[in-house]
Amino acid sequence: MSTDDLSDNENFLELQATGVDPSLFQAELTWNIASDEWPFEKGFEKKFNLALGVLQRFICEGHKDFPALKTTENSLESLFLHISLCDDEQMIELNRTHRNKDKTTDVLSFPLYDELRSGKEMIFSELEFGDIIISLPVMKKQAVEFNVSPEGEFFHLVTHGFLHLCGYDHELSEKEEELMEYHEQRIIKEIYDLIY
């Protein structure tokens, strides 16, 4: 399936990292929006596959933040991520239920691991990170505010959500916020340089 010929019955994309060897990272993008609301440009799927390659390199390069993955990187067979686009009503409900905040937000992350960075988690050959939920209306609004395309803002929000799934949390401390911001800017620059 291609985003270039969406119909009302299609509501998911299966994606695979490109630009890396071996290609380990797979993702599924789902949405609850009408096809005429699709916010992305032609060629989105190819760009997203390249972005997944950037995220795969971040995880598998064996840097000090991931001691558990460093010791098992040769045995990793697949990485998986699920991303959903939703409307503000759905996002408000999720934010209220899981964060006790009765308002919308741009992105929420639901990790499957609590201690992925610490090396205390048991990592198997198939690593599923969890879920990233993105509000389509907030994404579009922020794209205008930051003077980027909706697609560019999407990749920014995916990167932010992905870092939360990896165990980064900018709300913990100033030092953690700086570390997360450093990784976020580095990853986004690499994605933008590759696809734009």
Q: Would you place residue 130 in the very low, low, confident or very high pLDDT band (cuts 50, 70, 90)?
A: very high
Give the per-residue pLDDT at 37.
73
Q: Is the pTM of this model over 0.75?
A: yes
Q: Would you place residue 146 in the very low, low, confident or very high pLDDT band (cuts 50, 70, 90)?
A: very high
Using one digit for the tens of pLDDT, what is the confidence trace for 72-122? Answer: 555 778 999 999 999 999 999 999 999 999 999 999 999 998 878 777 777
C-alpha span between 88 and 172 (Å, rounded) = 26
Return the CATH number of the domain spanning residue range 3-195.
Answer: 3.40.390.30
Q: Would you place residue 2 in the very low, low, confident or very high pLDDT band (cuts 50, 70, 90)?
A: very low
Beta carbons of 151 and 44 less than 8 angstroms apart: yes
Q: Give the start-to-end residue ranges of the domains of the chain.
A: 3-195
The percentage of residues in the chain with a pLDDT greater than 70, rounded to a whole number, is 87
Cis peptide before 111 (omega within 30 of 0): no
CA distances from 50 to 74, 168, 170, 180 (A): 22, 23, 26, 21
Q: Would you place residue 181 in the very low, low, confident or very high pLDDT band (cuts 50, 70, 90)?
A: very high
Other C-beta atoms closer than 10 Å to the C-beta of 13 total 19
